[in-house]
């Protein structure tokens, strides 16, 4: 018997985006071999993940984990039906991405002034100016070689230096990034401060200002509220969610704390709600083995992987297949 | 600056109920010394917890952890301003609780037939009959000695033997328990199967049938959806939530899996949403030390305890004090 809400939501599609290779590995001290990164990417794409942020175009001296950014990007670009995204901190990163032919550039700036100063040594206004120049470069690329350009707003739901961030500031920079030419936005709870009420308030405000532009949500589960915040964002109509396999990642300010929301648990929640993601739960769980073999010392989170699917669980894919 | 939603919800009061001493310790093989249980109860009451399920009146041969049920109950009854609750599986448990003078009896039955047969060797219908007899005993007590009687519906959001449970079954037994004289109900996701849509569906259906009777929610975080389910239940008007300090508890079917939702993270989420609980977050976190000292081998969950409160966090209590 189908539950009422599952029928109602059956047609709603949700896009999941793996960020573990970037946000998850970023603060991990052990280098994951390039071949393992590519195996992870290939296996997750085979499980149905349509978009993966595979690396970051920062100077390798800053983050040695991304010393293989070129090889990882080129390898990922060979995987069929995968949108290959990468983080860019600045113009140099955008140039590297364009040269490599990456599909999507994720530019990030912090809404909070202190966080932006510490991260990229400039006030948020100057980051918007940088973004405009990057968009110009992106849009000057020949047809077919132009990557999608995403404007990411870090610390939008709280800052480890400043605490709560005014909603008006989030909306201001969201508008400015869209006016500058962002194809999409990502609103991020970088340090895991958000609660569902705050999520509803911030996302409603941003969505009402930026109209049809896709606004993705990037939540961390640092204080346990990650999936509750996803549910609140769903209520607002958000359909694009970042997450990390095994919840890889952490918080430089809180050793041992959880990082990104756990992709497997997020997928289970969405699928159980009757939302279509295109990702196979059991195949996704299998991908964890690539990580645990490659980095035996990394902390892996996740309830579903330990507990397994509910008895007699029928996935959205199975129900769609049965209905076809 | 207050967030809009925080102001709106400022007057809404939420009741948290600690179940760690019962549901948390139930499957833990090491006996927690009675003095430590009483220290936990006293410290949590001092932190503002108004209700604690302190033990279970099952035969000690079945669960040795509750061999000290009498001493724990009598000790807890000396703690000022605390509602002392205990689980009862049957009439014998009710008699023991009444003799001890416990404030609240939490009767449990499973909505799922297989689960009820395995747990108490009778179909759910017979458990309703048992409950009627218990209510008669309770209501025959002299004024001032009559405990509150709660009807608990286990496996209401899924069963580890049967999978999904029909909403109509949950509503049926909820009505029968209220008709039998339950003062309150608790609807439980015993095995952590629920998603927010399902929670909304089940709680809306139950609440619309049982009218003004308090319907508490008891969620497990086995697959990461616990706080998302709380948020969904809040949307339905649920104001009473069970949780366990450090997320103690687990799942006999999934070794290593998480158990009850983590009280500290739940409190953080509610408080951050502007909901008044009366519980002091920092004092509550301190209570964890009693558990880790007493049971060094027990798995303790929780994001807030690792990561700490957000920078410049202002609790509801602090805002109420500032406004007074």
Cα separation, B169 vs B202, whole angstroms: 10
The candidate with the shortest Cα–Cα distance to A147, out of A107, A201, A206, is A107
The strand pairing partners of B187, in sequence order, are B153, B217
**What was the ipTM of the complex prediction?**
0.94
Which of B56-61's residues contact partners 24+ apart within 8 Å by CB, and which partners?
A: B56/B22, B56/B26, B56/B86, B56/B87, B56/B88, B56/B89, B56/B93, B57/B86, B57/B87, B57/B88, B57/B89, B57/B92, B57/B93, B57/B94, B57/B96, B57/B97, B58/B87, B58/B89, B58/B93
Check if the beta carbon of residue B151 is closer than 8 Å to that of residue B110.
no
Alpha-carbon distance A69 to nearest alpha carbon in chain B (angstroms): 30
Q: The tokens of B162 are what?
A: 């049967």
A4-323 fold: TIM Barrel (3.20.20)
Contact criterion met (CB < 8 Å) for B191 and A164: no
* Chain A residue numbers touching B285 (CB-CB < 8 A): none
Residues 6+ apart with CB under 8 A from B169: B111, B112
pLDDT digits (tens, 9 = 90+) for B243-277: 999 999 976 666 777 899 999 999 999 999 999 99
Check if the beta carbon of residue B123 is closer than 8 Å to that of residue B113.
yes
Q: Which residues of A are catalytic?
A: 251
Contact criterion met (CB < 8 Å) for B251 and A303: no
* Chain B residue numbers touching A313 (CB-CB < 8 A): 163
Contact criterion met (CB < 8 Å) for B269 and A223: yes
The candidate with the shortest Cα–Cα distance to B205, out of B172, B234, B231, is B172
- Would you write out chain B's pLDDT as a tens digit for each of its 324 residues? 334 444 444 468 999 999 999 999 998 999 999 999 999 999 999 999 999 999 999 998 999 999 999 999 999 999 999 999 999 999 999 999 999 999 999 999 999 999 999 989 999 999 999 999 999 999 999 988 999 999 999 999 999 999 999 999 999 999 999 999 999 999 999 999 999 999 999 999 999 999 899 999 999 999 999 999 999 999 999 999 999 999 999 766 667 778 999 999 999 999 999 999 999 999 999 999 999 999 999 999 999 999 999 999 999 999 999 998
Cα separation, A307 vs B253, whole angstroms: 8
pTM of the model: 0.95
Catalytic residue list contains B251: yes
Cα separation, B181 vs B177, whole angstroms: 6
Strands A148-154 and B83-88: unpaired
What is the dihedral sign for C-alpha A255, A241, A172, A194? negative
Check if the beta carbon of residue B38 is closer than 8 Å to that of residue B72.
yes
Q: The tokens of A139 are what?
A: 């849009």
Q: A-B interface: how many C-beta pairs under 8 angstroms? A: 175
Contact criterion met (CB < 8 Å) for A306 and B228: no
Cα separation, A60 vs A64, whole angstroms: 5
């Amino acid at each position: 018997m189908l539950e009422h809400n599952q029928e109602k939501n059956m047609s709603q599609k949700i896009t999941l985006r793996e960020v573990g290779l970037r946000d998850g590995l970023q603060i991990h001290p052990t280098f994951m071999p390039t071949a393992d990164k590519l195996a992870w990417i290939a296996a997750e794409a085979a499980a149905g993940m349509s978009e993966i942020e595979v690396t970051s175009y920062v100077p390798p001296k800053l983050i040695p984990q991304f010393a293989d950014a070129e090889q990882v990007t080129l390898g990922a670009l060979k995987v069929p039906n995968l949108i290959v995204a990468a983080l860019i901190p600045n113009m140099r990163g955008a140039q590297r991405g364009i040269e490599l032919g990456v599909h999507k550039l994720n530019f990030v700036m912090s809404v909070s002034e202190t966080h932006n100063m510490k991260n990229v040594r400039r006030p948020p206004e100057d980051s918007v100016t940088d973004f405009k120049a990057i968009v110009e470069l992106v849009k000057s690329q020949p047809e077919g070689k132009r990557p999608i350009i995403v404007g990411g707003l870090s610390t939008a739901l709280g800052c480890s230096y400043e605490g709560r961030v005014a909603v008006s500031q989030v909306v201001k920079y969201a508008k400015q990034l869209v006016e500058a030419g962002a194809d999409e936005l990502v609103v991020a709870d970088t340090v895991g401060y958000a609660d569902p009420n705050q999520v509803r308030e911030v996302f409603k405000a941003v969505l009402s200002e930026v109209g049809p532009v896709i606004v993705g949500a990037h939540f961390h589960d640092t204080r346990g509220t990650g999936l509750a915040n996803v549910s609140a964002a769903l209520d607002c109509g958000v359909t694009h969610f970042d997450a990390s396999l095994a919840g890889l990642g952490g918080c430089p300010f809180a050793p041992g704390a959880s990082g990104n929301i756990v992709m497997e648990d997020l997928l289970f929640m969405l699928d159980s709600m009757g939302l279509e993601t295109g990702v196979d739960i059991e195949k996704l769980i299998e991908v964890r083995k690539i990580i645990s073999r490659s980095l035996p010392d990394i902390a892996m989170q996740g309830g579903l992987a330990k507990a397994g699917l509910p008895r007699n669980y029928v996935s959205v894919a199975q129900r769609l297949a049965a209905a076809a």
